[in-house]
Amino acid sequence: MTDRASVYARIIELIEPLNAKKIALAESTSFAGDMEMDSLTVMDLVASMEDEWDIMIPLNMLPDLETIGQVADAVHGLVVKKG
């Protein structure tokens, strides 16, 4: 079973190469505000997470996912739901 802590840790690993500003990553780090990620980079990250866990992240969910912690919660929820 993939627990939330391991999902979060893997998301951090997936973000690192995209972290152009090399800021410290935490639960509350925001993609737009703190990391200044553009939409193309965010979509690359989404694709990486979908491939990693074999899930589909609904596009209508993305506007609500502003921080790394929110993304970890959402991905973990989708992984658990997938079973």
> Could you tell me the residue ranges of all domains in the chain?
4-82
Q: What is the C-alpha end-to-end distance of the chain, expressed in Å?
A: 9
CATH T-level assignment (fold) for domain 4-82: 1.10.1200
Give me the pLDDT at residue 22, please: 95
- Does residue 67 carry a pLDDT above 60? yes
Q: How far is CA 18 from the centre of its chain?
A: 11
Q: Over the chain, what HEC string results?
A: CCCHHHHHHHHHHHHHHHCCCCCCCCCCCECCCCCCCCHHHHHHHHHHHHHHHCCCCCHHHHHHCCEHHHHHHHHHHHHHHHC
Give me the pLDDT at residue 1, please: 57
Give me the pLDDT at residue 25, please: 97
2 — pLDDT class (breaks 50, 70, 90)? confident
Give me the pLDDT at residue 83, please: 84
13-61 pLDDT, tens digit per residue, is 999 999 999 999 999 999 999 999 999 999 999 999 999 999 999 999 9
